[in-house]
Amino acid sequence: MTEPCSIASSSPDGGRVTGAYLQPVLETAAARGVDGARLAQAAGLSAGILRADSLAARHYIALLEAGARLSGDPHFGLHVGERVRPGTYSVYGLVLMSCRDFGQALEQTLRYEQLAHDLGRSHLALEGADALYGWTSHYPAASRHLVESVFAGIRVFGSWLAGRPLGPRQLCFSHANDAPLSEYERVLGIVPQFGANAHIARFDAALLGMPVPNADPSLYPVLRQHAERLLSERSAAGDGILAQVRAMLIQKLPHGGARLPLIAEHLGMSPRTLQRKLADAGTSFQDLLDGARYELARGYLVQRDLSLVDIAFLLGYQEQSAFTHAFREWAGINPGAWREAAAVESGS
């Protein structure tokens, strides 16, 4: 009998994806007869974006989904993950290659994953003799190809580090599936459970102590220092304006003032300037607005004295139906069902 997967929350967010992380998508599409220009056009983007050092995360997702659609490949995400190589993960991939064991490699993944992409975040937990690796997508409305590409890439890169095939003892995905199962077993080493509450791989915790063959731990301090510097530069470039806009959105939402012109005015700049600054930081006003609303909505939903009408008003919606539709896009379920699931999870 298999163990159930734990619930993990997710939230929409803006961000970037490095050009190296996009490369497996382009290669997978090309192998199926879809060139880059056609892919970009189908995603509503200019072909020049394919040569950029980085691109908006939402544009990456558009390209991934266009590739799946144009190629007719029901396992497009899995096949993207199969083409992952050390350089795909940018600087943090080099950090992982210098780690003494897999426990340290996973710890560095949690910290430096954002240097390669802002598509989601990893988390790790111990449960007796098991370790649970989870990945929370920042884009829960994206197709299953996003999550499947991430987990396929992790398995491919992990197996490359180990010098032998690695695989979980259990794998759970929250999305549904109608594609043939045999390809999942070939690429992932296991047939996943679908329709779970979270994206989680369960494996033997003893693996965390397994040495990384051919690693050069002497390089670890230098590479980690470089990664830390990149994190600091990234934070200085974008987090200031993002934090200001998020704080202003949270303050203004209940009063109907969470609109771009008003927020820009409060920050002492024109709407166009604010849009440009947010784009430079890898996000958009709408991404931040959705993220603030989703974060607040989850907090309000655990307060049983607040009705869904009350919550919709607090989030700046004029109609409960608009809130319900938006929340379903973010979480995959309606707010009432989310509230009941959270109550069961907390035991209340």
Contact 118, 16 (CB under 8 A): yes
Name residue 87's amino acid. G
pLDDT of 296 > 80? The answer is: yes
Q: Is the pTM of this model over 0.75?
A: no
pLDDT in tens, 240-291: 788 788 888 888 888 788 899 999 988 888 999 888 888 777 678 888 898 8
Contact 172, 199 (CB under 8 A): yes
DSSP classification of residue 23: H
pLDDT of 145 > 90? The answer is: yes
What share of the chain in percent tops pLDDT 70?
A: 93
Residue whose pair of structure tokens reads 């991430």 in the numeric block:
150
Pick the CATH number of 16-215 from 3.30.160, 1.10.10, 3.90.1520, 3.40.50: 3.90.1520
16-215 and 236-346: same fold? no
How far apart are the two ends of the chain, measured CA to CA in Å? 27
pLDDT of 4 > 50? The answer is: no
pLDDT of 308 > 90? The answer is: yes
Domain locations in the chain as residue ranges: 16-215, 236-346
Q: How far is CA 122 from CA 184, 289, 297, 322, in A?
A: 21, 23, 23, 31
Across residues 137-166, what is the average pLDDT? 94
Rounded (10°) CA dihedral 346, 324, 320, 292: 70
Q: Which residue in 166, 197, 193 sits closest to 181, CA to CA? A: 193
pLDDT of 173 > 60? The answer is: yes
pLDDT in tens, 109-129: 998 998 899 898 899 999 999
Confidence of residue 331 (pLDDT cuts 50, 70, 90): confident
Assigned CATH topology for domain 236-346: Arc Repressor Mutant, subunit A (1.10.10)
Long-range contacts, 215-221 (Cβ 8 Å, 24+): 215/97, 215/98, 215/99, 215/100, 215/161, 216/97, 216/98, 217/98, 217/99, 217/100, 218/98, 219/94, 219/98, 220/95, 220/98, 220/99, 220/100
Residue 311 CB neighbour total at 10 angstroms: 23
Across residues 165-177, what is the average pLDDT? 94
**Mean pLDDT across the chain, nearest whole number?**
87
Interatomic CA distance for residues 224 and 18, integer angstroms: 19
